[in-house]
Amino acid sequence: MTQDNQNSSLDNIKPDFMFDGGDLDCGSGLSLLIRENMLKVPVGGVMEMRSRDATVKDDLPPWCRLAGHEYLGHQDDDGFTRYFIRRGQAKSSSDEGASDEEALKSDKDKARDYEWRLRIRSTGSQKSTVYCRNFSWNVGQPISFEEKDEFPCSIESFLGALGGALASGFATECSREGLDIDDIEITTRGRLNNVLAHLGVEEGDPSFSSIEVKCFASTMDDEAKVRQVWEQTVKRSPIAATLAKATDMNIKLMVV
């Protein structure tokens, strides 16, 4: 079937349910959301899923075959793609013949039990290399007061991970909510209770005393909705939620 013929046939479809996957890919939780939202569709019914991630076009058809659903095709729209899936009697990859509810429970259990694993080696003077999946990156000394270094120190990596998690998470949540954000920039600042304790100069508490996060978002969309999505992003961030239990966190959103 040509793309024009496919688009023509899809135009006649009236989905039973629609949800927006934003810019998530299948490896970052989209497949779990598809399976969960599919329960809102009757067997034989059609779900429309919208996505802004290019890899979904390749990953979704084989996932549908494995899950027991029928992939009907896609349509490119303004800034996103519409995918159409007919619900079948889904099967879990580990439990043949499992119902949709059982397959979803199995996938949720696997997600809850997932463990991230990294390997770190000292690979030079004031340098360690982190290995994870198909990535590796270098980290310098634990703390540095220098203006320039070859590698970021551990505290900078730590604060960068916090900012990166919030920036990417916020962009994804805005995408799923249909909010048009022109630019997102985050600054992070951190102070320690007593850096001299880390250096061994005196006794004390080397932990963070405070962390400040400022997010600058450029948008013409509804500010109240943007702020609601930001609060949701912070609440759902594993790094932000963990740090909030341990130290004073000051998190602000500036809509410009």
Residue 122 lies inside a defined structural domain of this protein? no
**Alpha helix (H) residue ranges in the chain:** 3-11, 30-38, 56-67, 100-113, 154-176, 195-199, 223-236, 238-246
Do 95 and 166 share a structural domain? no
Reported as a single tens digit per residue, the pLDDT across 97-140 is 567 888 889 989 999 999 999 999 999 999 999 999 999 999 99
Residue 78's pLDDT is 86
Domain end residue (candidates: 59, 93, 113): 113
User: What's the total number of domains in the chain?
Assistant: 2
pLDDT category at 7 given cuts 50, 70, 90 is low
Question: What is the extent of the structural domain holding 185?
Answer: 153-255
**32 is written with which tokens?**
């779990």
Question: Which of the pair, 231 or 7, is modelled with greater confidence?
Answer: 231
Q: What is the pLDDT of residues 221-240, one digit of tens each?
A: 999 999 999 999 999 999 99
Are residues 14 and 82 both part of a single domain? Answer: yes
Asked if residue 231 and residue 182 are part of one domain, the reply reads yes
Distance CA(109)–CA(105), nearest Å, equals 6
CA distance 41 to 35: 10
Residue 146 Cα to chain centre, angstroms: 33
Would 127 be classed as within a structural domain?
Answer: no
Q: Are residues 89 and 161 in the same domain?
A: no
Whether residue 13 is contained in a domain is answered as: yes
175 lies in the same domain as 85? no
pLDDT in tens, 77-101: 888 999 999 998 755 444 445 678 8
The CATH number assigned to the domain holding 167 equals 3.30.300.20
Contacts of 83 (CB under 8 A, 6+ apart): 48, 49, 50, 51, 56, 60, 71, 73, 74
Summary mean pLDDT of the chain: 91
- Residue 91: give its domain's CATH number: 3.30.110.40
Percent of the chain surpassing pLDDT 90: 81
Using DSSP, state whether 210 is helix, strand or coil. Answer: strand
The whole-angstrom separation of Cα 232 and Cα 218 is 18
User: 12 and 101: one domain?
Assistant: yes
Same domain (yes/no): 102, 203: no
Q: Are residues 167 and 107 in the same domain?
A: no
Identity of the amino acid at 92:
S
- 29 domain-assigned: yes
Q: Has residue 231 been placed in a domain? A: yes
User: What's the confidence (pLDDT) of residue 100?
Assistant: 81
Inform me whether the pLDDT recorded for 144 exceeds 50: yes
101 and 162 together in one domain? no
